[in-house]
Amino acid sequence: MKILVITGSPRKNGNSNTLAENFIKGAEEAGHTVVRFDSAFKNVHPCVACNKCGMNGQCVFKDDFEFVKANIIDADAVVFATPMYYFGISAQIKAVIDRFYAINGQIHVPKKAVLLMTYADTSEKEAQPIISHYESLIKYLGWSDAGKVIAPGVWPEGAVKYTKYPEDAYTLGKSL
């Protein structure tokens, strides 16, 4: 299986990247091929709604999204790894998702999807907007949820290492 992992945190050793790394370790051990796109360290211009792509064509911006385009169409699974920023996903990963617009016609094919998300608060309720966004997105695309690792109560970089969630991400990657 080919898996595209899209991360959204600017903290290289941050909590969502730690979940992504553990997920990737499990997936690779299970024999899957993993490609990774770290949105926060790439140049991806936000969609400007010019509609030149017609939702299925060439985007006016030729930037690092080309990598996502080249790897998402034939991916069997797509993983979204993001911190919570003001109750939503990070702007960095959202910019990448919005650019799906130009390849919308090519990605409505069955794929598995995974959500890895970290946040500082401990209330489960506060994770709901991101979970709901993720579920709406994959339903629209015709993808199916293969699992989520939602890690509350982690604020400083690295805090997630002292929880069970990296192990959960590893197990999810291995079981995919």
Ligand X SMILES: Cc1cc2nc3c(=O)[nH]c(=O)nc-3n(C[C@H](O)[C@H](O)[C@H](O)COP(=O)(O)O)c2cc1C
Distance, in Å, from the CA atom of 170 to the CA atom of 91, rounded to the nearest integer, reads 26
53 lies in the site for ligand X, by CB under 6 A = no
With CB under 6 A as the contact rule, the residue among 4, 5, 6, 15 that binds ligand X is: 15
Both tokens of 167, joined, read: 């192990």
With CB under 6 A as the contact rule, the residue among 85, 131, 141, 174 that binds ligand X is: 85
119 lies in the site for ligand X, by CB under 6 A = yes
Nearest approach, Cβ of 16 to ligand X (angstroms)? 3
154 lies in the site for ligand X, by CB under 6 A = yes
In the complex with ligand X, the residue whose CB is nearer, 77 or 154, is 154
84 lies in the site for ligand X, by CB under 6 A = yes
E strands, the chain, are 2-7, 33-38, 77-83, 112-118, 144-151
Which is nearest to 78 in space by CA: 19, 36, 128, 15?
A: 36
In the complex with ligand X, the residue whose CB is nearer, 88 or 105, is 88
With CB under 6 A as the contact rule, the residue among 30, 63, 155, 161 that binds ligand X is: 155
Distance, in Å, from the CA atom of 166 to the CA atom of 18, rounded to the nearest integer, reads 7
Distance, in Å, from the CA atom of 87 to the CA atom of 55, rounded to the nearest integer, reads 28
16 lies in the site for ligand X, by CB under 6 A = yes
| Burial class of residue 83, CB neighbours in 10 A (0-12, 13-18, 19+) | buried
With CB under 6 A as the contact rule, the residue among 6, 118, 168, 170 that binds ligand X is: 118
Let me know: does 60 contact 50? Beta carbons within 8 Å. yes
23 lies in the site for ligand X, by CB under 6 A = no
131 lies in the site for ligand X, by CB under 6 A = no
**Which residues of this protein are in contact with ligand X, per CB under 6 A?**
9, 11, 14-17, 83-87, 118-121, 126, 154-155, 157
